[in-house]
Amino acid sequence: MKQFKIAAVAILLATASQSTMAQDPFDYKVDRFADIEVLRYQVPEFESLSLDQKRLVYYLTEAALWGRDILWDQNYKYNLPLRSLLEQIYTSYTGDRNDPQFLAFEKYLKQVEFANGIHHHYSTDKFTPEFSREWFESQAEGKNCPVLTEVTEAIFNPSVAAKRVNQAEGEDLIVTSANNFYDGVTQQEVEDFYAAVKDTTDLTPVSYGLNTRLTKKDGKVVEQVYKLDGYYSKAISRIVDNLTRAMTYAENDAQRAIIARLIDFYTTGDLATFDDYSIRWTEDTASRVDFINGFIESYGDPLGMTGSWESIVNFRNDEASHRTEVLSSNAQWFENHSPVDPRFRKDKVKGVSAKVITAAILAGDAYPATPIGINLPNANWIRAQHGSKSVTIENITDAYDKAGQGSGFNEEFVIDEPTRELLEKYLFITDNLHTDLHECLGHGSGRLMPGVDPDALKAHGSTLEEARADLFALYYLGDPKMLELGLLDNPDAYKAEYYKYILNGLMTQLMRIEPGKDIEEAHMRNRQLIAAWAYEHSKKDKVIELVKHGGKTYVKINDYKALRDLFGQLLSEIQRIKSEGDYAAGADLVARYAVKVDPKLHKEVLDRYATLDIAPYKGFVNPVYTAVRDDNGTITDVTVSYGEDYLPQMFRYSRDYNGLDD
Ligand code: ZN
């Protein structure tokens, strides 16, 4: 599971103290187009790694970059030939680069590169080109594209592959979703297929469908497995090559065995091997360098089964990890005091290990848009028996905050000066703590009743799981335990995160939604669910109000303690829904609070945002790692540089890591 930056709300960090600090000479801003801003991040302390650790990081980053094209193909079956054609047109264009048609084309290209395909990375709606079909067809002439008709239709015909992930209740979610996890099969056929292979009495089930594409052969539904000599074999062989080299420089035997098991998994496609790998990976808390590499998150599949390929290579930030160590060493205390029915608590919270990390590379589904916190593995039984590993990526949150200073957001949306001061003082720390709590305790807390199918909440599973983790974090942020543990130094600090959360959930996250559209993405649904539920249930006592000043709407929180109680109540109910697999109650909560948007308020938010020029979405280019080699080809050093721009990086990756090209 992953946690994203909470939109622009966390950009309110233009604090007086920071503005008096010495100017940070690092250039965070790389590119700005459509609803996107591209940033760079630094990799502090890379130089402090030993030579072997640097070599390990280097080969792991190579293994990460070689998976890029898998993700592109998973997102939509014509994404790769389409990208190749767009890049050919862009690089060979000899006309006027200020021509409106070319500028519109450039914008579209940048959007497609950012989204790893033709669908918006967040809304999953298809991009609408602002250049003409005639212009495009004249440019495509003479270029190499074996599926030109399909690609042109995909770009220009709004009814072709309109949405990557369709979650609309009542429709065939497989047929109407353009992702490439399924081909030529219906939702009913997919559900029947897995109902037949799933053993519901198995207490340690594999993650069915995690690494497969479902299609039909001779009228029968069959799985195509992502593995060596299977689907995506070419890219996987390059990943395996680099993992094999990385293994030589593993920090210890446990880590060497982890990489070996991952290679086994890629070789066989066997999901039980993946579980074994995941358990070993979860239990390795000693190694400083760490990585995610594989088919991990299933947000891209409307049925939440198949994993999108991703990789993040990282190393522990020892100083900042103190915070998460304090949380995880008190995990049982938090579990025992959680406001849920004791039957749904874990008797023993197992190995919730948490650390703050420095990302060295972002790849696949984690690039360029990237999470700020991750908690893995996703398999429920592994989490219950072996715990999970939770990380907060602080060099990424740091880059967000530095790049966002002085945006004018807080002046526009925060109700008054005292609240702004509260946010300026405490939002950075409470926001990071929220992520720590969400990832390292929230997802890991609670348990399912015996016999409850972990997928019982179906299409609403992700939304409710994120809500559960967020509520756990919100509830405990306001607990005196935070002060007792030395994690906060002021009993009012939590109010900063509460204010931001409600403001975002009720109003400001709407800047990401087009007029007339519903909320669809799981994290956004979860945030509105929590904020709208709390608002609805506090009307009588006016805990939260929406007030008007000068025609503008503001969130006013009158009673933070009462709000904390509301968070506790909703946590208790959502934990019950999860523990009992109460689909109907879960679906009802989502339908009532998470999806629909008040069109008047929505318009107001969009209008107010338009005056600020804040990009609703952000992502990152990676640093460039260069291996310095001696005459024998042995790596004697690895250097890191930051100068690469957005499209040049994309084109380099397309050229040098074209893992599926024949
Ligand atoms: Zn989460």
CA dist 353 and 383 (Å) reads 11
Residue 552: its pLDDT value, please?
Answer: 97
Q: Tell me which residue has tokens 């070419």.
A: 234
CA dist 536 and 545 (Å) reads 10
355-387: pLDDT as tens digits: 889 999 999 999 999 998 898 999 989 988 998
Structure tokens at 270: 């066997």
548-600: pLDDT as tens digits: 999 999 999 999 999 999 999 999 999 999 999 999 999 999 999 999 999 99
Q: What does the longest C-alpha to C-alpha distance in the chain come to?
A: 76
Structure tokens at 643: 């100068």
Dist. CA 98 → ligand 1 center (Å): 43
CA dist 23 and 351 (Å) reads 41
Dist. CA 662 → ligand 1 center (Å): 38
Dist. CA 463 → ligand 1 center (Å): 9
Dist. CA 583 → ligand 1 center (Å): 20
Q: How many CA atoms lie within 13 A of 323 on its CB side?
A: 26
Residue 11: its pLDDT value, please?
Answer: 37
Dist. CA 329 → ligand 1 center (Å): 20
Dist. CA 443 → ligand 1 center (Å): 7
Residue 573: its pLDDT value, please?
Answer: 98
Structure tokens at 417: 């000066």
Residue 20: its pLDDT value, please?
Answer: 34
30 touches 615 (CB < 8 A): no
Q: How many CA atoms lie within 13 A of 280 on its CB side?
A: 18
Residue 22: its pLDDT value, please?
Answer: 41
Dist. CA 626 → ligand 1 center (Å): 34
Structure tokens at 544: 């939260």
CA dist 344 and 330 (Å) reads 19
Dist. CA 468 → ligand 1 center (Å): 9
Dist. CA 541 → ligand 1 center (Å): 30
Q: Tell me which residue has tokens 């920071």.
A: 18
Dist. CA 273 → ligand 1 center (Å): 25
Residue 24: its pLDDT value, please?
Answer: 56
Dist. CA 22 → ligand 1 center (Å): 35
Crossing angle of helices 417-437 and 494-506, rounded to 10°: 90
Residue 320: its pLDDT value, please?
Answer: 81
**Residue stretches of the chain with pLDDT short of 50:** 7-23
Sign of CA dihedral 461, 372, 491, 332: positive
Residue 387: its pLDDT value, please?
Answer: 87
CA dist 28 and 24 (Å) reads 10
Dist. CA 445 → ligand 1 center (Å): 12
What values do phi and psi take at 58, rounded to 5?
-60, -50
Residue 16: its pLDDT value, please?
Answer: 30
215-240: pLDDT as tens digits: 999 999 999 999 999 999 999 999 99
Structure tokens at 556: 């006013």
Dist. CA 378 → ligand 1 center (Å): 10
* H helices, E strands: number in the chain: 25, 15
Q: How many CA atoms lie within 13 A of 228 on its CB side?
A: 13
CA dist 152 and 137 (Å) reads 8
Residues with Cβ within 5 Å of ion ligand 1? 1, 3, 466, 469
CA dist 299 and 522 (Å) reads 8
Peptide bond into 158 cis (omega under 30): no
Q: How many CA atoms lie within 13 A of 436 on its CB side?
A: 28
